[in-house]
């Protein structure tokens, strides 16, 4: 039998989103992650194309973590014939289940709205997948324990190692015919409010590594001062602070930050509304898996009581009509969908509104448009004037910056035969490529979408 391994980059190559890496061997085929493309329209259109390799011939999917750009393509993969196990840690599978159900629900609602209000170029507008299709993918989930080697076939085994970033996230090591393939997934930060530092690989014959922040260091910002100042401002102007937030990790980090500020008397007891059905479910995942984070459960429960957690769309409208100073944290983090769009539709035109972006804004998203000073953005088929103040906190990212990425690689004892840089915009990947060459003399490349390489 040939020991040849072919790797194909079907996502997160030449772009940040849509992670999909296929490993083909004569005895077993493995897909690492199955993410959706997000951002620019030409990228989103790629989601609708059939997977380039027959999904029925994929033996298993290994999930680094539950984010949509790593798990959101799973229902489509199943629709096209995949029927193998989808392996991930228990928190990752719990989060992926929440994200897939939420994504399906939003897509069904958006398609229904587009058809009703006739603002889609498709007739009829269809959801990318529906709730039933998401549930079918979820039935294939199988949990793994971190650190344990799992035998996949005669000559292939895998293990998942904690990697910070979000609850349950891992990097994955694959021993294939005696060579170690390491897939970084998304690498977390050394100093994280909620999570322990990421693990570090000790050996890698082939390294597939993310490069989201490969060209920069996270800025040194006084996040407490920024949040306190913005809350003081909305109180003085009888305004609203709208914070679009990722439902996983970012929302919980913001809650913890604001809770700490309140306990230290740095902010008054202003109403803080949490409007993210998915985020609420992720709070329950934090409670179910205390061994995966640093928060004391008693304090976590006390913290939750401090916030006004919205559970119905009816309460969303009540919050919109609430005309006193308030803070609203709502999904989604890049303003691509979710409840935050409903708020922005009514609040963007108000000069007393502040929109605080709290993370990476991918190219082509509404968040990036706001960040770059767009005077109007399109929401539900209509243009909204941007009179609100747009602010940005960049230091809350759950991704390691260039220093963190180098630290993550620092314990690899050998020189990898090949390093592939993925999951980054072109400048980020190239900056990290140069840095890895200067520091380690490693042979690195930046594969493009659908590019393949063979190794033996």
Please check the confidence at residue 119 and state whether its pLDDT lies above 70: no
Q: Over pLDDT 90: what percentage of the chain?
A: 83
CA angle 51/57/59 to nearest 5° reads: 110
Is 315 in contact with 307 (CB distance < 8 Å)?
no
Name the pLDDT band for 2 (thresholds 50, 70, 90).
confident
Q: Does domain 223-392 have CATH number 3.30.70.1350?
A: no
pLDDT averaged over every residue in the chain: 94
For the stretch 277-298, pLDDT in tens is 889 999 999 999 999 999 999 9
**Annotated domain spans of the chain:** 5-216+398-455, 223-392
Q: Which two tokens stand for residue 104?
A: 């399906």
- pLDDT for 161 equals 98
Superfamily of domain 5-216+398-455 in CATH is Ribonuclease Z/Hydroxyacylglutathione hydrolase-like (3.60.15.10)
3-class SS string, 352-376? CEEEEECCCCCCCCHHHHHHCCCCE
Nearest to 174 by CA among 73, 32, 55: 32
pLDDT (0 to 100) of residue 421: 98
DSSP 3-state percent helix, strand, coil across the chain (nearest 5): 35, 20, 45
Residues 4-16: what's their mean pLDDT? 95
Q: What is the pLDDT of residues 422-439, one digit of tens each?
A: 999 999 999 999 999 999
Task: Give me the pLDDT at residue 397, please.
Answer: 86
Per-residue pLDDT, 126: 85
Give yes or no for a contact between 1 and 444, defined as CB atoms under 8 angstroms apart.
no
- The yes-or-no answer to whether 5-216+398-455 and 223-392 have a common fold is no
Calculate mean pLDDT across residues 246-274.
Answer: 94
Give the pLDDT score at 424. Answer: 93
Considering only 3-12, 115-124, 151-160, which range has the smallest mean pLDDT? 115-124
Q: What is the pLDDT of residue 332?
A: 84
118 pLDDT band (50/70/90 cuts)?
low
Asked which of 16-30, 119-133, 182-196, 334-348 is least confident by mean pLDDT, the reply is 119-133
Res 114 pLDDT > 80? no
Q: Are 452 and 445 in contact (CB under 8 A)?
A: no
43 or 447: which leads in pLDDT? 447
User: Where do runs of H (alpha helix) occur along 183-276?
Assistant: 223-237, 250-263
Position 120 scores a pLDDT of 56
Per-residue pLDDT for 242 more than 70? Answer: yes
Q: Is residue 216 scored above 90 in pLDDT?
A: yes
CB-based contacts of 380, cutoff 8 Å, min separation 6: 113, 117, 119, 341, 345
Q: Which of 112-126, 172-186, 296-310, 332-346 has the highest mean pLDDT?
A: 172-186
CB within 8 A of 16, min separation 6: which ones? 39, 69, 212, 360, 362, 423, 424, 425
Alpha helices in 63-222 (DSSP H): 68-71, 74-79, 90-117, 131-138
- What element of type H or E holds 42? helix 41-46
Residues of the chain with pLDDT > 70, as a percent, come to: 98
Per-residue pLDDT at 196 exceeds 90: yes
Is pLDDT of 89 > 80? Answer: yes
What is the pTM for the complete model shown? 0.90
Least confident of 47-56, 148-157, 238-247, 355-364: 355-364
Q: How far apart are CA 214 and CA 151, in angstroms?
A: 33
Q: What is the pLDDT of residue 1?
A: 66
pLDDT at 265: 96
Distance CA 201, CA 410 (A): 9
- Which is higher by pLDDT, 380 or 351? 351
**Long-range contact set of residues 19-24: C-beta below 8 Å, sequence gap at least 24:** 19/64, 19/69, 19/70, 19/422, 19/423, 20/51, 20/73, 21/183, 21/208, 21/422, 22/53, 22/58, 23/174, 23/176, 23/181, 24/53
* Helix (H) or strand (E) segment spanning residue 210: strand 206-210
Instruction: Identify the CA nearest to 138 among candidates 70, 56, 89, 78.
Output: 78
Pick the more confident residue, 277 or 9. Answer: 9
- Here the tokens at position 119 are 């603002």
């Amino acid at each position: 039998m040939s020991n040849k391994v072919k790797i194909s980059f079907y996502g997160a190559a030449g772009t940040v989103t849509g992670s999909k890496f296929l490993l083909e061997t004569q005895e077993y085929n493995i897909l690492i992650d199955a993410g959706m493309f997000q951002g620019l329209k030409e990228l989103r259109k790629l989601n609708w194309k059939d997977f380039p390799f027959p999904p029925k011939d994929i033996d298993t999917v290994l999930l680094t973590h539950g984010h949509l750009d790593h798990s959101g393509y799973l229902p489509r993969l199943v629709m096209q014939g995949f029927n193998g196990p989808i392996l991930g840690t228990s928190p990752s599978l719990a989060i992926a289940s929440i994200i897939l159900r939420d994504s399906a629900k939003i897509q069904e609602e958006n398609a229904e709205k587009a058809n009703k209000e006739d603002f889609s170029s498709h007739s009829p507008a269809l959801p990318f997948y529906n709730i039933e299709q998401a549930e079918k993918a979820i039935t294939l989930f199988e949990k793994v324990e971190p650190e344990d080697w799992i035998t996949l076939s005669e000559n292939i085994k895998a293990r998942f190692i904690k990697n910070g970033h979000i609850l349950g996230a891992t990097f994955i090591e694959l021993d294939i015919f005696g060579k170690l393939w390491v897939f970084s997934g998304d690498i977390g930060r050394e100093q994280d409010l909620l999570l322990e530092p990421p693990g570090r690989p000790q050996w890698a014959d082939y390294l597939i590594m993310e490069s989201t922040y490969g060209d920069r260091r996270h800025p040194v910002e006084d996040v407490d001062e920024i949040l306190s100042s913005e809350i003081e401002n909305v109180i003085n102007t009888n305004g609203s602070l709208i914070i679009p937030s990722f439902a996983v990790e970012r929302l919980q980090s913001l809650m913890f930050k604001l809770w700490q500020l309140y306990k230290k008397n740095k902010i008054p007891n202003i109403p803080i509304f949490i409007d993210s059905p998915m985020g609420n479910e992720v709070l329950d995942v934090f409670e179910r898996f205390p061994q995966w984070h640093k928060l004391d459960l008693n304090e976590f429960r006390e913290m939750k009581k401090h916030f006004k957690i919205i559970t119905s769309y009816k309460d969303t409208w009540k919050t919109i009509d609430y005309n006193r100073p308030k803070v609203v944290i709502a999904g989604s983090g890049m303003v691509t969908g979710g409840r935050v769009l409903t708020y922005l539709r009514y609040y963007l035109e108000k000069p007393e509104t502040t929109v605080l972006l709290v993370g990476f804004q991918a190219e082509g998203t509404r968040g990036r448009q706001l960040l770059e000073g767009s005077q109007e953005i399109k929401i539900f088929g209509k243009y909204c004037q941007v009179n609100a103040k747009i602010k940005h906190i960049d230091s809350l990212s759950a991704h390691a910056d260039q220093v963190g990425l180098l630290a993550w690689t620092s314990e690899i004892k050998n020189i990898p035969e090949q390093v592939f840089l993925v999951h980054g915009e072109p400048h980020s990947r190239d900056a990290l490529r140069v840095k890895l060459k200067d520091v380690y003399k490693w042979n690195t490349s930046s594969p493009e979408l659908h590019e393949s390489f063979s190794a033996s």
